[in-house]
């Protein structure tokens, strides 16, 4: 039986060597309950040794900790609404569209109108509900497919192997994804499983749109979604800057300049 200090050392070493550990695995290896491991993770995070993520822990980085969905939703509301409003105009009747579970993409359904026979696919519980509301209000016509998977109640999405398998069966006309951060090279996400979901959505789409506000610029988190080169368009609220000079000008859509 391991004492607390021995557990701490084991957890820290595993995180250092494997980059991410799960509550389930640590409970099994250390022969304690998952609740004990969660408490250990909390103490280690308070000591700035690790960063807790959904179902596990990763190396500590002050930018790695994802804020609760409700808190993120209230931040940069004006910018997110303008970005989502513009993105809604990019959808055409007859499209097959996939939308992930960000706080900007989550606003997109409220701006949809005058669309016929659109198929929407999403891993977001919120987006699914808002799309169904739009259909009930007869603002749009079509169907909504909610992907199956493991629920992350903190971020209001589903993800995991089942979700990934279902996404790979589709060919989307357009994908609208969010990110936790991005720089001139990559778009990033806080959660590994959510990064994979967004990455697959991009790969399965004919046209892809990254919706992101200025607060996420020039930052990194732990997991790459995609190279910026592989995203067709960036819909944002700030000016094109010199570090992105290698891009085609029409790839960068500044909603404030329209």
Q: Is the pLDDT of residue 98 over 90?
A: yes
Q: H or E stretch including 119?
A: strand 115-122
Specify the residue for token string 């993770």.
41
Give the separation between CA 64 and CA 66, rounded to whole angstroms.
Answer: 6
Give the separation between CA 235 and CA 83, rounded to whole angstroms.
Answer: 6
Q: Which of 29, 31, 3, 33 is nearest to 18 (CA)?
A: 29
Record the tokens describing residue 213, joined without a space. Answer: 């506000």
Burial 190-199 (b: 16+ CB within 10 A, else e): bbbbbbbbbb
Q: Which of 68, 74, 50 is nearest to 60 (CA)?
A: 50
Q: Which of 206, 218, 197, 89 is nearest to 152 (CA)?
A: 197
Give the separation between CA 50 and CA 42, rounded to whole angstroms.
Answer: 9
Q: Which range has the worst mean pLDDT, 19-28, 210-219, 241-250?
A: 241-250
User: DSSP character for 128?
Assistant: H
At residue 258, the pLDDT reads 47
**What average pLDDT does this structure show over 55-84?**
71
The 10s digit of each residue's pLDDT in 10-62 is: 999 999 888 889 999 999 999 999 999 999 998 998 888 888 877 888 887 65
- pTM of the predicted model, to two decimals? 0.70
At residue 71, the pLDDT reads 55
The 10s digit of each residue's pLDDT in 131-149 is: 999 999 999 999 999 999 9
Number of neighbouring beta carbons within 10 Å of residue 119: 16
Contacts of 79 (CB under 8 A, 6+ apart): 213, 214, 237
Specify the residue for token string 């000591």.
47
Domains of the chain: residue spans and CATH: 4-59 (1.10.10.10), 69-254 (3.40.50.1360)
Q: Residue 118: beta bridge partners?
A: 142
Q: Is the dihedral of CA 70, 75, 81, 87 positive or negative?
A: negative
Helix (H/G/I), strand (E/B), else coil: 225: strand
């Amino acid at each position: 039986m391991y004492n607390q200090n021995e557990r701490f050392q084991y957890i820290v070493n595993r995180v250092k060597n494997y980059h991410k550990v799960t509550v389930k695995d640590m409970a099994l290896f250390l022969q304690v309950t998952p609740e004990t491991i969660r408490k250990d993770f909390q103490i280690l995070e308070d000591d700035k040794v690790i960063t807790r993520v959904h179902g596990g822990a990763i190396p500590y980085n002050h930018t790695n900790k994802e804020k609760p969905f409700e808190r993120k939703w209230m931040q940069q509301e004006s910018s997110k609404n303008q970005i989502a409003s513009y993105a809604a105009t990019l959808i055409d009747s007859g499209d097959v569209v996939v939308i992930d579970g960000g706080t900007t993409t989550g606003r997109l359904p409220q701006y949809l109108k005058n669309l016929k026979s659109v198929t929407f696919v999403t891993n977001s519980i919120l987006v699914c509900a808002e799309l169904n509301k739009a259909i009930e209000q007869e603002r749009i016509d079509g169907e909504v497919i909610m992907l199956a998977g493991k629920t992350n109640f903190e971020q209001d999405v589903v993800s995991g192997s089942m979700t990934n398998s279902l996404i790979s069966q589709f060919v989307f006309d357009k994908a609208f994804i969010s990110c936790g951060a991005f720089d001139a090279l990559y778009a990033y996400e806080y959660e590994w499983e959510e990064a994979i979901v967004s990455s697959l959505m991009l790969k399965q789409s004919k046209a892809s749109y990254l919706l992101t506000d200025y607060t996420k610029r020039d930052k990194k988190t732990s997991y790459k979604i995609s190279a910026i080169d592989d995203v067709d368009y960036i819909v944002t609220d700030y000016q094109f800057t010199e570090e992105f000079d290698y891009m085609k000008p029409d790839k960068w859509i500044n909603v404030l300049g329209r």
